[in-house]
Amino acid sequence: MADDPLRIGPHSFRSRLILGTGKYPTPAVMEKAHAAAGCEMVTVAVRRVDLKNPGDPIMGHLRGLKVLPNTAGCFTADEAIRTSFLAREFGLSDMVKLEVIGDKETLYPDLEELLKATRTLVNEGFVVLPYTTDDLVTALRLQDAGAACVMPLGAPIGSGLGILNPLNIRLIVERLRVPVIVDAGVGTASDVSIAMELGADGVLLNTAVAGAKDPVAMAEAVRLACCAGRLAFCAGRIPRRATATPSSPDAGKLGAGSNS
């Protein structure tokens, strides 16, 4: 079970980590970090070609990786749909990390527009990976709309606050058929472990690695954390209890009086 591949629509992955390609100090560091994380898929953003400097600085550093275009920066379903169609024209992927932002400050998603865009893109043959809140009802609706997985946030994008509501993530994991990938909010390795221990099928992160003092070392740390969390989830943790239970037997203690 711990070794099962992660399946998103028709795609299958051995690694349960998806990394970003933004905010790295250099493309070379990014490439090393991706290798250290052992990830097989990375997100990219869709933007106008810079006509003054049309060379692509990251293309040459993504060899062997699946590319997952996002719709970051889109505020309506229409914008996100338009961006998804353009991304598909690159000929690199039928997948899209669907983001429809509802609030500039928190970058929380607009759930109504997200559902609308998910329905349309699924009908158009896309494999849709929607970034959503940690709300169970929305997650269920996204699943019903045909999303290939759901990607609830652990905390606001880039905040590094970790998994703010573990209960909500667990509820989503327990109720959905499609994979659940925790997306956004990861600050460090333990956050990845917690997500995986809660039963998440994978974790998507960018800033935690790209913004670390040593991105390559952090990438290795999150790889190990992902494996540890997955193993712990599959191993089945003990229930929490409010009272102590000794690990050593009471019987046979020295000076314990008669053996009656």
Partner 1 sequence: MRVRLNGQEREVENGATVAALVESLGLAGQPIAVEMNRRIVPKSRFRETTVNEGDTLEVVTFVGGG
State the catalytic residues.
97
How many alpha carbons fall within 13 Å on the CB side of residue 60? 6
Q: Does 186 bind partner 1 (CB under 8 A)?
A: no
> Any contact of residue 90 with partner 1 (CB under 8 A)?
yes
The nearer residue to partner 1, 29 or 140, going by C-beta atoms, is 29
**198: its two tokens:** 């809660």
Orientation angle between helical segments 215-235 and 27-37, nearest 10 degrees: 20
Does 92 contact partner 1 by CB under 8 A?
Answer: yes
Q: Which CB, 145 or 182, lies closer to partner 1?
A: 182
Could you tell me the smallest distance in angstroms from the CB atom of residue 50 to partner 1? Answer: 9
Q: CB under 8 A: which stretch of 39-47, 112-120, 141-149, 233-241 binds partner 1?
A: 39-47
- Neighbouring residues of 256: CB distance < 8 A, sequence distance ≥ 6: none
Contacts 24+ apart (CB under 8 A), 48-54: none
Return the amino acid letter for 107. L
CA pair distance 240, 137, nearest whole angstrom: 26
Among 4, 5, 14, 23, binds partner 1 (CB under 8 A): 23
> Which helix H or strand E contains 69, and what residues bound it?
strand 66-69
- The least distance separating partner 1 from the CB of residue 47, rounded to whole angstroms, comes to 5
Residue of 7, 15, 32, 45 interacting with partner 1 (CB under 8 A): 45
Q: Could you tell me the smallest distance in angstroms from the CB atom of residue 29 to partner 1?
A: 12
The full DSSP string for 190-227 is HHHHHHHHTT-SEEEESHHHHTSSSHHHHHHHHHHHHH
Q: Is 67 in the site for partner 1 (CB under 8 A)?
A: yes
Q: Which residues bind partner 1 (CB under 8 A)?
A: 20-24, 30, 43-49, 51, 54-59, 67, 69-70, 72, 82, 85-92, 157-158, 204-207, 210
